[in-house]
């Protein structure tokens, strides 16, 4: 049986063929036995149910994002001030307010013409070459260039940014605690050893040095960019410390492109298995946002977020002691049949579609409007330029082997239709 003859099977049937991580049972249409389970080997509580994940996201007092301080107070000291995702109130509120002043909806909306021009430029290059590999040609360079230009760091440093993101999210998956247990009943993340911690600290230092240098330059020579705004932003007369600024800039750079790369590829994969929706969007682009939201639900780009309990709690019928790590498997929650009818089906018509791909509560993704804008513009242009866009039966997609990310690492596409320029 050829790959092509499998179409249009549901995406669940393709998870193995595309090399999805074995522990991601939800990608294969399997339901967890319980919404909350303890992995005895690692001591991590895996949260797979939608109401349970929402409960954790919504209560930052009981479920701390500052997992290092909660779980390993003796861990080597590192400067994480500025890493919004690992902060609790009230520090989180102050920093979020401060960066919110710089990262405004107006600033994001103003990026539309640039995103459109960049998309055409990147696709023109692929057309000249006569081949389209979506990740290398568009899904990675577009968001990384947009966020680099926004921050005001040279987009020509793109290979460096790619190297960093690959150090953070290695392409291949290591053995996970869940694989070892063989139960398949919970999510799964690799054990973190001393070497990994040292490597992460080293990478953090290198990234921080890079941004500190650029921020120092903006203090002396302000420019029209986000780094300058961050250098100047104040809340209650307080400015970001240089270390916090460096940390925040690296968070923006990484969070600002890796997930959007996944989103672009995943939406193309969804449309590849359901070409009728691609045709519908070509006829009426107003349907594209719903297609993107459903792709975010079904193939959630970032799978897991961590919290630590600050007190004993009852969650999903389980008693979780204080000081324990919780892994929130957002992709599994997004397929909870208590909330989503036909959870494994791609149904852009869902209304409402309260997926958790961008999180919930005080840490709700700061970049969601930018990610959605990039998705709408880039995918709109892609569908318009290539009326017969599809995966290559002889060269099937390869998914990331990394347990934290769901998305294509290689996505060769056939563009049988004659490429034409879409309206910007
Ligand atoms: C499809 C693309 C994206 C997805 C799926 C995504 C997902 C998420 C999620 C789930 C969170 C919450 C983390 C938590 O609760 O611990 C988050 C936070 C965050 N995201 Fe995104 N993100 C995306 C794109 C972006 C972009 C484009 C940017 C920046 C330009 C960005 C910047 C951030 C930041 C700064 C936070 C931390 C917010 C806070 O802790 O208050 N993200 N993202």
CB 141 within 8 A of CB 132: no
Closest atom, ligand 1, to C-alpha of 359:
10
* pLDDT value of position 189: 42
Domain-located, residue 420: no
Pocket test for ligand 1, best of 90, 291, 367 (most atoms within 8 A of CB): 367
Say if residue 131's pLDDT is above 50: yes
* Low-confidence winner among 12-16, 114-118, 224-228, 240-244 (lowest mean pLDDT): 12-16
How close is the Cα of 357 to the center of ligand 1, in Å?
A: 9
> What is the residue with the minimal CA distance to atom 42 of ligand 1?
367
pLDDT confidence band for 181 (50 / 70 / 90): very low
Residue 300 maps to a domain: yes
Its domain, for residue 128, covers: 4-415
pLDDT at 2 over 50: no
Q: Which residues line ligand 1 (CB under 6 A)?
A: 65, 84-85, 96, 147, 251-252, 255-256, 259-260, 263, 301-302, 305, 357-359, 363, 365-367, 370-371
Least confident of 49-53, 182-186, 262-266: 182-186
Q: Residue 17 domain-assigned?
A: yes
Q: What is the CATH number of the domain that holds 364?
A: 1.10.630.10
Taking 90 as the threshold, does the pLDDT of residue 233 lie above it? no
Atom 41 of ligand 1, nearest CA residue: 363
Out of 289, 297, 365, 371, give the residue to mutate to test ligand 1, the one with the largest number of ligand atoms within 8 Å of its CB. Answer: 365
Residue 424 lies in a domain: no
Per-residue pLDDT of 31-72, as tens digits, reads 998 999 999 999 999 999 999 999 999 999 999 999 988 787
Rounded to the nearest whole angstrom, what is the distance from the C-alpha of residue 217 to the centroid of ligand 1?
A: 27
More confident residue, 30 or 373: 373
Residue 385 pLDDT level (bands cut at 50, 70, 90): very high
The 3-class SS string of the chain reads CCCHHHCCCCHHHHCCCCCCCCCCHHHHCCCCCCCEEEECCCCEEEECCHHHHHHHHCCCCCEECCHHHHHCCCCCCCCCCCCHHHCCCCHHHHHHHHHHHHCCHHHHHCCHHHHHHHHHHHHHHHHHHCCEEHHHHHHCHHHHHHHHHHHCCCHHHHHHHHHHHHHHCCCCCCCEHHHHHCCCCCCCCECCCHHHHHHHHHHHHHHHHHHHHHHHHHHHCCCCCHHHHHHHCEECCEECCHHHHHHHHHHHHHHCCHHHHHHHHHHHHHHHHCHHHHHHHHHCHHHHHHHHHHHHHHCCCECEEEEEECCCEEECCEEECCCCEEEEEHHHHCCCCCCCCCCCCCCCCCCCCCCCCCCCHHHCCCCHHHHHHHHHHHHHHHHHHCCCEEEECCECCEECCCCCECCEEECEEEECCCCCCCCC
Task: Report which protein residue has its CA nearest ligand 1's atom 1.
Answer: 260
Model confidence over 138-152: pLDDT tens digits? 999 999 999 999 999
pLDDT band with cut points at 50, 70 and 90 for residue 171: low
Q: What is the pTM of this model?
A: 0.90
Average pLDDT, the chain: 86
| 236, part of any domain | yes
Could you tell me the distance, in angstroms and rounded to a whole number, from the CA of residue 415 to the centre of ligand 1? 32
How many domains would you assign to the chain? Answer: 1
Is 168 inside any structural domain?
Answer: yes
pLDDT at 421: 42
Query: Which atom belonging to ligand 1 lies closest to the Cα atom of 364?
Result: 12
pLDDT tens per residue, range 65-85: 999 887 877 766 555 678 899
Mean pLDDT in residue range 150-158: 91
């Amino acid at each position: 049986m050829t790959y092509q003859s499998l179409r249009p099977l549901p995406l669940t049937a393709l998870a193995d063929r595309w090399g999805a991580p074995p522990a991601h049972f939800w990608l294969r249409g399997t339901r967890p036995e319980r919404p909350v389970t303890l992995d005895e080997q690692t001591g991590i509580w895996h949260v797979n149910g939608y109401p349970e994940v929402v409960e954790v996201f919504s209560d930052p007092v009981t479920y701390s994002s500052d997992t290092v301080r909660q779980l390993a107070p003796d861990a080597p000291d590192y400067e994480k001030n500025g890493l919004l995702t690992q902060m609790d109130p009230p520090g989180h509120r102050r920093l979020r307010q401060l960066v919110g002043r710089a990262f405004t909806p107006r600033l994001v909306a103003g990026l539309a013409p640039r995103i459109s021009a960049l998309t055409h430029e990147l696709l023109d290059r692929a057309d000249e070459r006569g081949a389209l590999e979506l990740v290398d040609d568009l899904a990675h360079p577009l968001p990384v260039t947009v966020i680099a230009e926004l921050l005001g760091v040279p987009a020509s440093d793109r290979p460096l940014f790619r190297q960093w993101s690959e150090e953070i999210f290695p392409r291949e998956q290591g053995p996970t605690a869940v694989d070892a247990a063989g139960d398949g009943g919970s999510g799964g993340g690799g054990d973190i050893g001393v070497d990994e911690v040292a490597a992460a600290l080293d990478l953090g230092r290198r990234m921080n040095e890079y941004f500190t240098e650029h921020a120092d330059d903006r203090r002396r020579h302000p420019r029209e960019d986000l780094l300058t705004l961050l250098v100047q932003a104040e809340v209650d007369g307080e400015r970001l410390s240089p270390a916090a600024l460096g940390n925040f800039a690296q968070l923006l750079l990484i969070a600002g492109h890796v997930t959007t790369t996944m989103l672009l590829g995943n939406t193309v994969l969804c449309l590849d298995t359901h070409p009728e929706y691609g045709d519908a969007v070509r006829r009426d682009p107003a349907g594209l946002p719903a297609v993107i939201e459903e792709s975010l639900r079904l193939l959630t780009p970032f799978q897991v977020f961590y919290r630590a309990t600050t007190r004993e709690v009852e969650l999903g019928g389980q008693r979780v002691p204080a000081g324990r790590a919780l892994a929130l498997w957002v992709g599994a929650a997004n397929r909870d049949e208590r909330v989503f009818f036909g959870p494994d089906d791609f149904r852009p018509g869902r209304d409402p579609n309260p997926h958790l791909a961008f999180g919930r509560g005080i840490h709700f993704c700061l970049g969601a409007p930018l990610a959605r804008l990039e998705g709408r513009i880039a995918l709109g242009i892609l569908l318009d330029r290539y009326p017969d866009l599809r995966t290559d039966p002889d060269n099937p997609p390869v998914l990331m082997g990394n347990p934290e990310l769901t998305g294509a690492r290689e996505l060769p596409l056939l563009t049988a239709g004659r490429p034409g320029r879409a309206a910007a």
